[in-house]
Structure formats: C-alpha cells, structure tokens
Chain A
C-alpha cells in the first residue's frame, strides 16, 4: 500500500521555486518568512491500516518477539510430544476417561508465561525506552495506536498458539492411536486447539493491558504471573473450614484450572466451577475490562 511515488528528488535539496511546475505558490507570511515550506511528498491521511503495518514492523523487528514466541512453540510442542512419548512407552494404556488431547495441557500452561511476557513487552518496552513519545508524535490518535497493538499482538499470539496446539493434538492422537480406545469428538478437538489458543491470546491481551496501565515491564510481568499463579497458591494454604468456599472458588477460577477446562471430556467434567466454553468468556470479559482501563489510561495520562 505504498503511496504513489512522487518524482523522486531529495526532498529538501531545493526550496520550492515560484513558477516551477509542481511546486506550490509562495505564501507570504511576513518579513521573516518569505514562504512556508510545502513538501513534494504527497500527503495522505493516515489510518488504522497504517498503524497496523507499523505495529507489525515493530513486533517482528525485535528479538524478544522471536524468543518469546519461539519458546512458546518449543514448550507446547516439546512437552506435548514428550508426554505422548512417555505414555506410549508406559505399560498401561491411557485410561478411557482421559483423551490424548489432555497431554497438551502442560506445555500450554508453561507457554502462557511467554505469551504474557510478550503481551506486556509489546507496550511497556515503549514506555521503558521513551519510544512511546515518538510513536504518539507520529500518531496522536492514541486509541488507534493501542488498537493496532492489540490486533497485531492478538493475531500473532493466537496464530502461533493455534499452530502449535494443532500440531500437538494431531501428533499426540496419532502416536497414541493404538494405546487408547476412546473416540475424540470434533468439539473436543476444536476446544483443545482453537479454544485453548483463544484463551491464551486473550490472557496475553490482559497482559498487554496491564503493561499499558503499569508502564513498567518487570512490574507488569510480575503482576501477571501473580494473577496466573497466586490464586492456586493461596488456595493451597487455606486450611480453615470457614474458608472452604473461597478456597474452592480460587481453585476453580485460577488460570491453570480454567485452561484445564478446555481439555475436559464428558467423563472428567467437574461437578462445579466453569465448564465448557465458560473459561473463554471469563477471560474475554477480564480482557475487556483491563483493556478499557488501558484505553482510558493512555488517552488521559501524560505520555
């Protein structure tokens, strides 16, 4: 979508001359300014597509993206395949109630850390370096900047997770075809790939929003790790009976448990807590709230 090329000349090799074709007429604005400079480069109104292109260039041109997404793929594929390898060499067959798809769970759980890190860095690194000022000078429409970041990061993390989880789901079910008697339904397959990837990508969006709110990489990553891990840890230490309800809720709505819900089959479904696609709606709602805060913060605070 490159703008039509002007007759290329070094743009300020010469000042606009009166009477020269293609140059604008002089504008007299007083003794100090014989004319106001008008660029020979054609002017086109910038839009969201330009911001998306810019953000895509930004995210692909730093190594932290390569590292975090690379590790994401390695974790999902590596641990997923390793688990399948262990199970296939074990003596006992996989129980009828757990499908080969569930073996992908641990890899995805660990890879969440990478996606969270990338989500935070997508915006907080700009605040850390001061680049955000340059970015906002180039695009004063702050909502457009954040939207572009959200879209680019979301699509990238979703696609990477989707490819990895699909590969794991396919190879695990192929590897364990003769060790497992059950049947994987299309819905289960869909949840363990697309569902999981959407869940991870929206979790990454929460991280991006927290990064925009805190404007500090380490602080935002730590906060997100706390969000992922603390409920589970806290639940473990609640021994009192009076706290039983809280303990149960913390456990059931902790991120690892929400993720595990995507791997549930009819046989393993928990009696209470979120089921089916509910974890996705929970994380979508949470992402909506935090992103709302991020928009408000970016629009109103000094950069």
Chain B
C-alpha cells in the first residue's frame, strides 16, 4: 500500500507535481497515466525518496521510504531501463544490488531466468537492446521479491511478445497480493492491464477511479449518420426530439439514441442514408480528452483545431464530458 498525501514538487516557479493525494492498494494493478511531462516520473522518484518533495509525504506501508529496513524486499522499482553501467555484466549489475540488501546470490540467477536473460547474464549491458535493458531493469525490481512494485513505462522498447509477457507478469504479481503501480502514457496499454487508474495532468490529479468505472463513464457510444439529404434529415431528427451534432465533414453524430430507431426514423421520412453506424469512443480518446487541457507539449498539426471543452452541439455534453466536444471536432 502506497499513500500519497498532498505530494508537491516545485522546480523554480514551475509546479511539476501539485498536491497529489491518492492511495495505491495491493492486489490490483494501478495504472498511473498522464501525458508526457505530466509529472509521473517526478512523482515516482519522490515515492522512492530520490527527490525531496516540496510539500507532502509518501508512505510505503505506513512508513517513509527512508525508514524501510529492507528496501528491496519492500519495493522493487524500474525507473529507467538505461540506468545501469554499460560496462557491467547483467549478472554483476544484479549481484551488487542483491548484496546491498543481503539477498542471496542464487536469487540473481532466479530473476535472470524469470526475465529470460540467463543466456546473456555474463554479457556487458552496453550491448543490450532497449527491450533487454527493460528486462534487466524488471529483474532488478523483482530481485527482493517485494510487496510493492513500481514500473515507469515498462513496455517501452519491448517487442509484442515482451509486452504480452509483462502484462501477464504484472497481473500475476498483483494476483499474489502485491501492490503494482505502473506508469504509462498509453491508455490502450493500461486498458489491458490496469484495474485501477490514477490520471494526472500537469501535476494535478485528474481522475482516481477503477478501470471499469472509467470505461463506463468515458466510452460513450454514439451513432454516426450521413445522408445526401442533410437538411431534411436534420429537420426529421429535430422533429423527433433528437439533437444531433454536425461534424466538420458533414456527418451527424447522435448520442443516446440507438441506430435502429434512427434508421426507422429516416425510413419513415424517406430519407436516403449513406451511413448509419454505431460508434464507440475509444478509451484513448477519452484519455486524450481528459488530459487535453493539461498536455504540456502540444504538437500543433492543424491550426484551428482547438481541444476546447464544452463546445459541442446544443444541449449535448453532459457534465464531465468535455472531451466529447474535442473528439467530435476532430471528426473521427
């Protein structure tokens, strides 16, 4: 169990992490999501007592990290796959970590086997690929067989087989009753592994919710309609009390009415439809909507495409669905 209480980190006049309060519970995989520069890594470094918080505290099983008598046994962390001396062999890298916590050398061979690096154990890590580096980092995290595991972007650089492996690994670790805390900037990745979500943007907590709840709230479905008889369709929909949203490319999007009813409505009015398709907003889009205003480094691809919230059609967005407007304007 990890408890963050008002965790704050200030660099000069920039708030990297702003009053973060949340609890990471054992037995589940908790995804820590945020766009690049949201403060995920800074938060994780403060959790491990590497960086001093400007304000607030982190408690690991009720203790400050510095008070842990058996740090590697309590917390295993993968922060940076490249955080190793390139001239040292994988085995020696893990051995010096194990020795610093009085962990027997036999455990080094065990974790090397677990991550599948036994064959390159004596090779210097300089020649390792990013994926191999990640595996070695994960081996280091598993070394103390800890109760709590923290992974910072663990799937970076892994091949599909490696990604599959780490997903299962994280789920298994959580199923054993461990606390698993994984950061990522990929919602799609988290959707497959995490049971709980903590979303931050520009250092502030945006959501602390279970995955199921997040999906229920954010993956709203809508129906896309396209007709050559645009105006008549609009009139017909208005007459039926349905409020559509017109997108940039002239298609209509309708929330809260199922496709069958819309089809029947069009048929009754004799309107030709070129498209009638139920759509599901992806979690990736929901996440992007949630964090749109707090993305630090915007890539300005098309001018005039503002990630503005609450500019949807009349009477359209229910509270908290500001992301929906952004989605529609992109016309996806």
Contact = CB atoms under 8 A, between A and B. Distances in A.
Determine if chain A interacts with chain B.
yes
A33 B28 contact: yes
B152 to A, nearest CB: 10
Interface of A is mostly: loop
Interface string B94-111: 011101111111110010
A63 B71 contact: no
Contact of B83 (A8, A35, A130): A130
B71 A2 contact: no
Contacts of B95: 57, 61
A133 B96 contact: no
A4 to B, nearest CB: 9
B80 A130 contact: yes
A46 B79 contact: no
Given A39-B145, A134-B79, A139-B100, A46 B70 contact: yes
A135 interface: yes
Contacts of A50: 99-102
B144 A134 contact: no
Interface residues of B, number: 60
A141 B26 CA distance: 26
Interface string B33-71: 000000000000100111110000000000001101111
B100 A5 contact: no
A151 interface: no
Interface in B15-43: 25-28
Given A10-B110, A140-B49, A63 B104 contact: no
A61 B65 contact: no
B177 A34 contact: yes
Nearest to B146: A39
A12 B143 CA distance: 11
Given A125-B85, A129-B84, A136 B50 contact: yes
A129 to B, nearest CB: 5
B109 to A, nearest CB: 11
A200 to B, nearest CB: 24
A26 B311 CA distance: 52
Interface of B is mostly: loop
A139 B105 CA distance: 17
B50 A12 contact: no
A44 B107 CA distance: 15
Interface stretch (B168-176, B223-231, B253-261, B320-328): B168-176
Contacts of B96: 54-55, 57-58, 61
A157 to B, nearest CB: 19
A64 B177 contact: no
Choose among B50, B99, B100 the residue with the greatest number of A CB atoms under 10 Å from its CB.
B100
Given A37-B147, A44-B102, A32 B83 contact: no
Contacts of A2: 104-105
Contacts of A45: 69-70, 102
A3 B51 contact: no
Interface in B159-210: 172-173, 175-178, 195-196
A134 B28 contact: no
A64 B86 CA distance: 11
A8 B45 CA distance: 33
A136 B50 CA distance: 7
B88 A61 contact: yes
A57 B99 contact: yes
A35 B177 contact: yes
A303 interface: yes
A37 B79 CA distance: 22
A63 B125 CA distance: 13
Interface string A265-303: 000000000000000000000000000000000001011
Interface string A10-45: 111001100000000000011011111111110111
A129 B83 contact: yes
Contacts of A29: 1, 25-27
B102 A41 contact: no
Contacts of A138: 71-72, 97, 100-101
A134 B140 contact: yes
B87 interface: yes
Given A3-B102, A63-B87, A137 B25 contact: no
Interface of A: 1-3, 5, 8, 10-12, 15-16, 29-30, 32-41, 43-47, 50-51, 53-55, 57-58, 61-64, 125-126, 129-131, 133-141, 300, 302-303
24 contacts: A3-B104, A11-B145, A15-B176, A29-B1, A32-B26, A32-B27, A34-B27, A36-B147, A37-B147, A37-B176, A37-B178, A41-B103, A41-B145, A51-B100, A130-B80, A130-B83, A130-B84, A131-B84, A134-B79, A137-B75, A138-B71, A139-B101, A140-B71, A303-B45
Interface of B: 1, 25-28, 45, 48-52, 65-66, 68-73, 75, 77, 79-80, 82-89, 92, 95-97, 99-107, 110, 114, 140, 142, 144-147, 172-173, 175-178, 195-196
In the A-B complex, the 7 residue pairs with the closest CB atoms: A33-B27, A130-B83, A54-B100, A39-B145, A61-B92, A37-B177, A302-B51
Given A36-B147, A134-B140, A138-B97, 4 more contacts: A15-B177, A41-B103, A41-B104, A139-B101
